[in-house]
Each structure stands twice: as structure tokens, then as C-alpha cells.
């Protein structure tokens, strides 16, 4: 068992631990044992397992960004399926991740009523990643492998819009999901 300790002055910080040489089977067993009703997030990339415990501030910012996405879909009369921090994984790629929040917007009707299966269905159209004290750069290659088209990434420097173009994430000034939304607006 791994226990992460922190100083009382660091209670607002996100806690994180990285484990190496973890099998896919162990990753899947941890997911099953931990269950769906937990605050920790797991990211698995070909043997490397990252376990993150988000802070209160992290969760506040995540919910604010979720509200922005929800408001935009309502105002633009777009169908949306929010999948929250559901596990997105593919055994054939040996990769899995739990975003802070994920949304199907362009592909909402394709997956409505279906079980989430990234082998036979697309990844969420938009993923939100909040990085206050720890970086999501370890998770970006996983999103790329899963073909997530757009990532909104909040950092201490502000928000970034990253879009998958030519098999790489590039910084963009406008959202592909909501073309009228600029980074400056967010």
C-alpha cells in the first residue's frame, strides 16, 4: 500500500503518486477494487500508473469549466452527453485515463444509450484537465492515443485549448467544439 503524506499547509494541493512496472491486469484490478465513487483519478500508460487526489480548489475549477461547457451547449441548442471523470481505456493500447471531465458533443447522438467502448466508439469530443499543482502532461499522450480531439487545460498561467492535429496536440486560440469561444474568453 502506498500512503502519501503532506504538510497541513499543503492541504489545498493536489496529491499525486506515480508507480512503475504496473501490469494492465493490476491497473484493471485497482479500478475494480476502488470502485466508481471515489475522488482519486488514475492514468495508465504502458506500465506507468499515476494516482491523483484532487484538491478542493481543483474540484471548484473543474466544476466551473463544466458549467461553461453546459451553458454553451444549452445556449447553442447542442446535444451533449457528459461522462464526467469516467475511465477511458483501451487494453489494445495499454492506456487508460480518467479526465477531470469529458463531453460528447459532436458525437453525442452516436453514443447515446450505449455503453462507453472506445474500441468501437469515438473518444469524448472535449476533455477538461485542471492542473493547479501537478501537470497533466503525463496524460496528454494517453488522450492522444485515445484520439481525444480537444483538451481544455487549466494551469496556474490560465487556460489552454489544445487540439489534436496531425497526431499532435497544438495550442489553439479558438475551440473546435465551440468555434466562437476563444482562449481569452475562457
Q: pLDDT value at position 15?
A: 80
pLDDT per residue over 92-135, tens digit each?
A: 999 999 999 999 999 999 887 777 889 989 999 999 999 876 66
The mean predicted confidence, pLDDT, of the chain is 88
pLDDT band at 13 (very low <50, low <70, confident <90, very high): low
Tell me if 45 is assigned to some domain.
no
Tell me if 46 is assigned to some domain.
no
Give the global pTM: 0.88
Residue range of the domain that includes 76: 55-172
- Any idea what the CATH number is for the domain that residue 134 is in? 3.90.1570.10
56 vs 12 pLDDT, higher one: 56
> For residues 15 and 52, what is the distance between their CA atoms, to the nearest angstrom?
6
Tell me if 23 is assigned to some domain.
no
Q: pLDDT value at position 50?
A: 93
Q: pLDDT value at position 115?
A: 79
Q: pLDDT value at position 185?
A: 87
CA 113 → CA 121, 126, 148, 175, 178, distances in Å?
12, 19, 20, 27, 24
Tell me if 25 is assigned to some domain.
no
Whether residue 67 has pLDDT greater than 70: yes
Tell me if 165 is assigned to some domain.
yes
Tell me if 42 is assigned to some domain.
no
Cβ proximity of 93 and 146 under 8 Å: yes
Question: What would the grid cell of residue 6 be?
Answer: 503532506
Tell me if 76 is assigned to some domain.
yes
Number of domains the chain is built from: 1
Paired with 151 in beta bridges are 127, 162
Amino acid at each position: 500500500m502506498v500512503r502519501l503524506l503532506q504538510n497541513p499547509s499543503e492541504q489545498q494541493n493536489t496529491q499525486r503518486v506515480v508507480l512503475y512496472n504496473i501490469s494492465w491486469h493490476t491497473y484493471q484490478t485497482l479500478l475494480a477494487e476502488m470502485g466508481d465513487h471515489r475522488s482519486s483519478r488514475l492514468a495508465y500508460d504502458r506500465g506507468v500508473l499515476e494516482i491523483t487526489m484532487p484538491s478542493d480548489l481543483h474540484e471548484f475549477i473543474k466544476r466551473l469549466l463544466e458549467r461553461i461547457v453546459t451553458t454553451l451547449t444549452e445556449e447553442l441548442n447542442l446535444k451533449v452527453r457528459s461522462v464526467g471523470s469516467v475511465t477511458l481505456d483501451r487494453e489494445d493500447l495499454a492506456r487508460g485515463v480518467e479526465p477531470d471531465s469529458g463531453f460528447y458533443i459532436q458525437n453525442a447522438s452516436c453514443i447515446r444509450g450505449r455503453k462507453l467502448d472506445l474500441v468501437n466508439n469515438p473518444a469524448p469530443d472535449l476533455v477538461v484537465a485542471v492542473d493547479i499543482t501537478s501537470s497533466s502532461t503525463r496524460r496528454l499522450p494517453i488522450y492522444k492515443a485515445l484520439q481525444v480531439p480537444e483538451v481544455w487545460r487549466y494551469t496556474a498561467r490560465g487556460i489552454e485549448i489544445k487540439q489534436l492535429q496531425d497526431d499532435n496536440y497544438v495550442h489553439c486560440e479558438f475551440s473546435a467544439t465551440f468555434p466562437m469561444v476563444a482562449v481569452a474568453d475562457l
